[in-house]
């Protein structure tokens, strides 16, 4: 069951495998407002209304509990707080859920029974679940569903978030987060802090740092004065880019390290040239926590690789870091990180290793939560519907949703001459019914306005999207979707609600 | 598992029931030529080059599509087999341009490799030849159907691996060829340009446009690495010549993806050599970026970072790290932020 993941475009090779499985006879359920490619392969395509994932999952659990299709043994031995969940989902009758989600009662029954009674049923999601004000609750509710049916902790089941970037898993694992060091060791935990202080021979701050949206709020308010932006382009990729631009503008000193003179780099006081993946040794960690080698194929084009640049800067700051190679960096990290302690470059040669891998004999861990959860028992969370922060209204009657297209990857591929020569501009998707009313055809330019700003884009008229929705990618600097996306955030993760904003459309 | 005993070239061999003769021979280290067979794809038995002689069976059998039987006596390189293979190769090259001097695939062309091995220099069969125009209308794949030997691997890989089903055989007999619906060009079709067809094509019929005349296959250094785009974690080989990337090749030992890649992984690498790359540090002076030396730039940053930290405190600094960069670089930047700048204000785009 896929909820909010357009896998064949955003993760094509995983998409191939899903398609192969469907053609071999696996049942495929696609839950998506758009008629994505995999909807064509699916046994059930549930065209859910954006922002109603919680009632949808609650509706499935309502049926599963009422018909006693849940895994009673798993619930009894592996979880707690079942009663609170049961009490909450009791209110989510198929009739009520159907009204909220737009999915028929019949489909709700069929899919609930199919998922619950299939021994090996996998759940997949990506940003269609997380990029909402209720993103964290969406994820917890999916975990509820998997625990309720015992679909977790063994091969062929599980909650499978597909990570978006080549090394977003690794960047988290390495502690490029404001609250943890590598391996999710908390900065507010005294013992962890002492360990890193001893290893790094320096005293370390004891309170959590800022998350990205907070950084830009404080840049706007003047509390953040200096930034070092390494390999990111928040002007194009973060929601409400006018707010990002004004924050960057207010900084007293900005360093950007990147391959290209990006929209963000324009604001820099100093730009350091970056090196691409082909110019350095190192590792990436994929969506299945598999650490794999990146190998240097050519000399760094600007003369040094990024790791060398950071070391050189640190030395100039009076804190020399002594590493001769990325492997030495890895070894220091592994020595301080129990979940990776058994991983060495030598062991990665063949097929990489999936962490946790606590010692040199450990083969790695293909799936988590076998036998027990990290906290012991799985804790059911009773979750009620949280609607999106901004819904279409009279003034802004269309719902804007955003994502990736197959041919592009975020904001790097526009620098690929081959790809850019065929896919050089945005074609936002609009339903034929709306297009006819607006008097626009495929290829026409439209003006799209939200409460944050205005952009222009070409459109493609297609019934891939339902009436009332405009769907855009965010790859193109000339049609920067994030000028108009919502500035609402999930309060826990501070992830922006990229998937729902209210806009109006005008013909140009 | 039920095991079957048979004899290959006089030697007793034991393999699981259902194994093909080809696999059984390969297990013994015997090199049986094959153009249409590929591990992971269904067997077509189309090229007939893998034929072997089985005692008691009148015709030669295609070893890729025939399962072993108990007591079977197989000859993989008998005079009959060798003669048949030579005849097959002569038939294949009867209508195949022998322009190997300039062919992109030379060095990885299976047809050329087997003609060399079996001593087939030219074809005694003189007849009609194709003269299809070479398709170059897309930026990724060059299609020269004059060089197609109808092995059908491109058709099967498009169906069985990518599942896009863009290619199938069109027309009949001599005019038969794999092509998109309506014999359109790839740009007019639903092709997703994953390039799987190019990766499996045994001849010069499908080649990478980006690699044309960039180097002979044997000159290219292969560096196995991990794709820099999405989180799937595909591996592939970067093909390198003279410190330049010239292409990407599938590496079937990749644990996640095997042969399979997508348009971005196989063809999107050229951003590395984009003319828009920044090659030296730049310092903004009077609103303009001016090239600077590394020392000049890093000295300025160090002075400014120290000055700001002193003036406004460590928490006036924030760093954005990168989900595109390596683990080692992310580890270093968080260490720098915490140990040198004295703040936990470090984050990256996992949440945005």
- What are the residue ranges spanned by the domains of chain A? 2-162, 168-209+274-354, 398-507
Instruction: Name the fold adopted by A2-162.
Output: Dimethylsulfoxide Reductase; domain 2 (3.40.228)
Cβ atoms of A137 and A54 within 8 Å: the answer is yes
Query: What CATH number has the domain bearing residue B76?
Result: 3.10.20.740
Q: What pLDDT was estimated at residue A410?
A: 74
Length of chain A as a residue count: 508
Residues B245 and B325 in one domain: no
Nearest to A16 among B260, B311, B328 (CB): B260
Q: Nearest C-alpha of chain B: how many angstroms from A386?
A: 19
Residues B155 and B45 in one domain: no
Q: Give first-to-last CA distance, chain B, whole Å.
A: 51
- What string of H, E and C letters represents the secondary structure of A384-422? CCCCCCCCCCCCCCEEEEEECCCCCCCCCHHHCHHHHHH
Q: What pLDDT was estimated at residue B164?
A: 96
The contacts of residue A300 (CB under 8 Å, 6+ apart) are A275, A279, A280, A308
Average pLDDT, chain B: 96
C-alpha angle with apex B217: B216 to B221, nearest 5 degrees? Answer: 110
What DSSP designation does B160 have? I
- What string of H, E and C letters represents the secondary structure of B199-233? HHCCCCCEEEHHHCCCCCHHHCEEEEEECCCCCCC
The edge-to-edge listing of strands for the beta sheet with A282-285 is A282-285, A290-294, A353-354
The beta strand positions in A6-58, using DSSP E, are 29-31, 44-46
Nearest to A282 among B319, B328, B336 (CB): B328
Whether the CA torsion A108, A473, A410, A210 is positive or negative: it is negative
Q: Cα A71 to the chain's mean position, in Å? A: 30
Residues B181 and B260 in one domain: yes
User: Phi-psi region for residue A459, left (φ > 0), alpha (ψ -120 to 50) or beta?
Assistant: beta
Q: What pLDDT was estimated at residue B70?
A: 96
Residues B145 and B257 in one domain: yes
Interface pTM (ipTM) of the complex?
0.95
With 0-12 / 13-18 / 19 or more C-beta atoms within 10 angstroms meaning exposed / middle / buried, residue B298 is buried
With 0-12 / 13-18 / 19 or more C-beta atoms within 10 angstroms meaning exposed / middle / buried, residue A374 is exposed
Q: What pLDDT was estimated at residue A406?
A: 86
Give a yes or no: residue B188 inside a domain: yes
Instruction: Name the fold adopted by A168-209+274-354.
Output: Rossmann fold (3.40.50)
With beta carbons under 8 A apart, name residues in chain B contacting A181: 334, 338
User: Phi-psi region for residue A328, left (φ > 0), alpha (ψ -120 to 50) or beta?
Assistant: alpha
Task: Note the pLDDT tens digit of each residue in B296-317.
Answer: 999 999 999 999 999 999 999 9
Cβ atoms of B209 and B140 within 8 Å: the answer is yes
Nearest to A330 among B225, B298, B328 (CB): B328
3 state SS of B338: helix
With beta carbons under 8 A apart, name residues in chain A contacting B268: 409, 412-413, 416, 418-419
Size of interface A-B (CB pairs under 8 A): 445
Residues B156 and B227 in one domain: yes
Among B248, B273, B298, which residue terminates a domain? B273
Among B249, B273, B297, which residue terminates a domain? B273
With beta carbons under 8 A apart, name residues in chain A contacting B264: 12, 407-409, 413, 419
Give a yes or no: residue B114 inside a domain: no
With beta carbons under 8 A apart, name residues in chain A contacting B195: none
Task: Note the pLDDT tens digit of each residue in B134-189.
Answer: 999 999 999 999 999 999 999 999 999 999 999 999 999 999 999 999 999 999 99
With 0-12 / 13-18 / 19 or more C-beta atoms within 10 angstroms meaning exposed / middle / buried, residue A126 is buried
Bridge partner residues of B244 (DSSP): B241
Cβ atoms of B153 and B201 within 8 Å: the answer is yes
Residues B219 and B346 in one domain: no
Q: What pLDDT was estimated at residue A414?
A: 81
Cis peptide before A356, with omega less than 30 degrees from 0?
Answer: yes
Nearest to B231 among A11, A294, A309 (CB): A11
The beta strand positions in A93-140, using DSSP E, are 123-125
Name the residue range of residue B73's domain: 3-91
Q: Nearest C-alpha of chain B: how many angstroms from A423?
A: 11
Q: Are strands A180-181 and A185-186 parallel, antiparallel or unpaired?
A: antiparallel
With beta carbons under 8 A apart, name residues in chain B contacting A280: 326
Residues B154 and B62 in one domain: no
Give a yes or no: residue B103 inside a domain: no
Nearest to A209 among B233, B325, B344 (CB): B344
Cβ atoms of B251 and B237 within 8 Å: the answer is yes
Give a yes or no: residue B104 inside a domain: no
User: Phi-psi region for residue A473, left (φ > 0), alpha (ψ -120 to 50) or beta?
Assistant: beta
Domain A398-507 in CATH 2.60.120.10: no
Give the pLDDT band (50/70/90) at residue B1: confident
Give the count of beta carbons closer than 10 Å to the beta carbon of residue B116. Answer: 11
Are B328 and A213 in contact (CB < 8 Å)? no
C-alpha angle with apex A11: A16 to A294, nearest 5 degrees? Answer: 110
| Residue from B324, B336, B346, B348 whose CB has the most chain A CBs within 10 Å, to mutate | B324
What DSSP designation does B59 have? S
By C-alpha distance, which of B134, B151, B272 is closest to B202? B151
| pLDDT of B231 higher than 90 | yes
How far, in Å, CA of A160 to CA of A367, rounded? 10
With beta carbons under 8 A apart, name residues in chain A contacting B209: 418
Are A260 and B235 in contact (CB < 8 Å)? no
Give the count of beta carbons closer than 10 Å to the beta carbon of residue A239. Answer: 27
How far, in Å, CA of B161 to CA of B165, rounded? 10
Query: What CATH number has the domain bearing residue B181?
Result: 3.30.70.20
- Angle, helices A212-221/A241-250, rounded to nearest 10 degrees: 50
Number of domains in chain B: 3
The contacts of residue B46 (CB under 8 Å, 6+ apart) are B36, B150, B151, B152
Give the count of beta carbons closer than 10 Å to the beta carbon of residue A366. Answer: 11
DSSP per-residue letters across B230-272: STT--EEEEEEETTEEEEEE--TT-TTTTT---HHHHHGGGGG
Give the count of beta carbons closer than 10 Å to the beta carbon of residue A360. Answer: 11
| pLDDT of B349 higher than 90 | no
Q: What is the pLDDT along chain A (508 residues), one digit of tens a residue?
A: 999 999 999 999 999 999 999 999 999 999 999 999 999 999 999 999 999 999 999 999 999 999 999 999 999 999 999 999 999 999 999 999 999 999 999 999 999 999 999 999 999 999 999 999 999 999 999 999 999 999 999 999 999 999 989 999 999 999 999 999 999 999 999 999 999 999 999 999 999 999 999 999 999 999 999 999 999 999 988 888 889 999 999 999 999 999 999 999 999 999 999 999 999 999 999 999 999 999 999 999 999 999 999 999 999 999 999 999 999 999 999 999 999 999 999 999 989 999 999 999 999 999 999 999 999 999 999 999 999 999 999 999 999 999 988 888 777 788 888 888 888 899 999 999 999 999 999 999 999 999 999 999 999 999 999 999 999 998 888 898 989 999 898 988 888 898 999 999 999 9
Are B339 and A330 in contact (CB < 8 Å)? no
Give a yes or no: residue B10 inside a domain: yes
């Amino acid at each position: 069951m896929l909820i909010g993941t357009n896998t064949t475009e955003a993760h094509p090779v995983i998409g191939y495998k899903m398609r192969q499985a469907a053609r071999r006879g696996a049942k495929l359920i696609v839950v998506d407002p758009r008629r994505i490619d995999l909807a064509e392969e699916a046994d059930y395509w549930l065209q859910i209304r954006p922002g109603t994932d919680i009632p949808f999952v609650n509706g499935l659990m309502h049926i599963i509990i009422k018909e006693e299709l849940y895994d009673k043994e798993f619930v009894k031995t592996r979880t707690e707080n079942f009663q609170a969940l049961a009490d909450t989902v009791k209110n989510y009758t198929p009739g009520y859920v159907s009204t909220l989600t737009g999915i028929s009662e019949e489909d709700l029954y069929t899919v609930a029974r199919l998922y619950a009674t299939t021994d090996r049923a996998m759940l997949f999601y990506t940003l269609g679940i997380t990029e909402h004000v209720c993103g964290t609750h969406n994820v917890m509710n999916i975990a509820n569903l998997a625990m309720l049916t015992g679909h977790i902790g063994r091969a062929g089941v599980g909650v499978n978030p597909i990570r978006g970037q080549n090394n977003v898993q690794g960047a988290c694992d390495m502690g490029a987060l404001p609250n943890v060091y590598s391996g999710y060791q908390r900065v507010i935990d005294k013992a962890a802090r002492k360990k890193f202080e001893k290893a790094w021979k320096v005293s370390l701050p004891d309170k959590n740092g800022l998350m990205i949206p907070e950084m830009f709020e404080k840049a706007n308010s003047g509390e953040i004065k200096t930034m070092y932006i390494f390999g990111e382009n928040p002007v194009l990729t973060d929601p409400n880019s006018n707010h990002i631009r004004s924050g960057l503008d207010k900084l007293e000193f900005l360093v950007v390290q990147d391959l290209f003179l990006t929209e963000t780099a324009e604001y820099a006081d100093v730009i350091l040239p970056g090196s691409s993946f082909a110019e350095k040794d190192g590792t990436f960690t994929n969506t299945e926590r598999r650490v794999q080698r990146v190998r240097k194929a050519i000399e760094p084009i600007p003369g040094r690789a990024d790791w060398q640049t950071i070391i050189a800067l640190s030395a100039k700051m009076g804190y020399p870091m002594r590493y001769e190679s990325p492997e030495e960096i890895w070894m220091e990290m592994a020595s301080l990180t129990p979940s990776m302690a058994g991983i060495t470059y030598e062991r990665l040669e063949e097929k990489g290793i999936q962490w946790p891998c606590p010692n040199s004999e450990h083969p790695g861990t293909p799936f988590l939560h076998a036998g027990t959860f990290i906290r012991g028992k799985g804790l059911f969370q009773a979750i009620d519907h949280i609607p999106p922060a901004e819904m279409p209204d009279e003034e802004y009657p269309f719902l804007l949703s955003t994502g990736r297209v197959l041919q592009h990857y975020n904001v790097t591929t526009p620098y690929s001459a081959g790809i850019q020569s065929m896919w050089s501009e945005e074609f936002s998707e609009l339903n034929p019914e709306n297009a006819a009313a607006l008097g626009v055809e495929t290829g026409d330019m439209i003006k799209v306005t939200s409460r944050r700003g205005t952009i222009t884009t070409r459109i493609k008229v297609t019934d891939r999207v339902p009436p009332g929705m405009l769907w855009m990618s965010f790859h193109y600097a000339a049609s920067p979707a994030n000028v108009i996306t919502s500035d609402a955030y999930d309060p826990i993760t501070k992830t922006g609600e990229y998937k729902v904003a209210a806009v109006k459309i005008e013909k140009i | 598992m039920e095991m079957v005993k048979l004899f290959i070239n006089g030697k007793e061999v034991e393999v699981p029931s259902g194994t093909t003769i080809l696999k059984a021979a390969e297990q013994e280290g015997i090199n049986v030529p094959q153009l249409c067979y590929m591990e992971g794809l269904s067997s077509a038995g189309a090229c007939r080059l893998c034929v072997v002689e089985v005692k008691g069976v009148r015709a030669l059998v295609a070893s890729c599509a025939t399962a072993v039987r108990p007591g079977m006596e197989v000859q993989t390189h008998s005079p009959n087999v060798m003669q048949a293979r030579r005849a097959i190769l002569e038939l294949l090259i009867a209508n195949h341009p022998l322009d190997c001097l300039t062919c992109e695939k030379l060095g990885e062309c299976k047809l050329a490799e087997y003609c060399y091995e079996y001593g087939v220099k030219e074809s005694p069969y003189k007849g009609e030849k194709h003269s299809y125009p070479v398709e170059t209308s897309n930026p990724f794949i060059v299609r020269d159907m004059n060089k197609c030997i109808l092995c059908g691997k491109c058709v099967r890989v498009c169906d069985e691996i990518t599942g896009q089903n863009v290619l199938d055989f069109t027309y009949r007999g001599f005019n038969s060829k794999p092509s998109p619906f309506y014999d359109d060009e790839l740009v007019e079709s639903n092709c997703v340009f994953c390039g799987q067809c190019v990766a499996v094509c045994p001849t010069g019929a499908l080649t990478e446009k980006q690699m044309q005349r960039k180097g002979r296959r044997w000159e290219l250094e292969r560096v196995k690495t991990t794709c820099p785009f999405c989180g799937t974690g595909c591996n592939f080989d970067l093909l390198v010549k003279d410190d330049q990337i010239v292409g990407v090749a599938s590496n079937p030992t990749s644990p996640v993806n095997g042969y399979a890649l997508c348009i971005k992984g196989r063809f999107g690498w050229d951003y590395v050599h984009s003319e828009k790359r920044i090659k030296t540090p730049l310092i903004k002076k009077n609103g303009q970026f001016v090239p600077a030396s590394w020392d000049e730039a890093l000295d300025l940053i160090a002075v400014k970072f120290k000055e700001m930290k002193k003036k406004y405190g460590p928490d006036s600094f924030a760093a954005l790290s990168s989900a595109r960069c390596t683990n080692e670089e992310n580890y270093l930047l968080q260490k720098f932020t915490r140990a040198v700048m004295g703040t936990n204000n470090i984050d990256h785009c996992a949440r945005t």
